[in-house]
Structure 1
């Protein structure tokens, strides 16, 4: 009878220890995954900011080119855009 009670106590202790170990590992995995997601999110936000700035620069350049093309320039005459090095 004592052996049976001892076996049950040892089994319960081992199962509780194993459950705590698995739970602790799961918490570690979750924490690691969350940190990786945060790093990925920050990298994506930085990339989006960079692309937004590049887009704004290209949009400004395109608008300026369209404005320059729409401006009448007579051949052989003086062009004010030459002062800005855009002509």
Structure 2
């Protein structure tokens, strides 16, 4: 497997190349990278990729201070159909 095609966020299919491009474009915090690439915005809400993303940022610039904007975990969301909403079953 080519390292450049490594997927960091499976839910949103964000690759290492996309993270590198966003970093080079000026995104330095995990929140900035999330907004630029959608990493940690998928169905798992960062439960799978959050730690990898934050570790990658620290590895890119170990001398930088810790990110004050660390990504929060969000509760999982379950799909609701319009029929359920109309009946009030939710």
Q: TM-score, normalised by structure 2?
A: 0.20
- Rg larger for: 1
Q: TM-score, normalised by structure 1?
A: 0.20
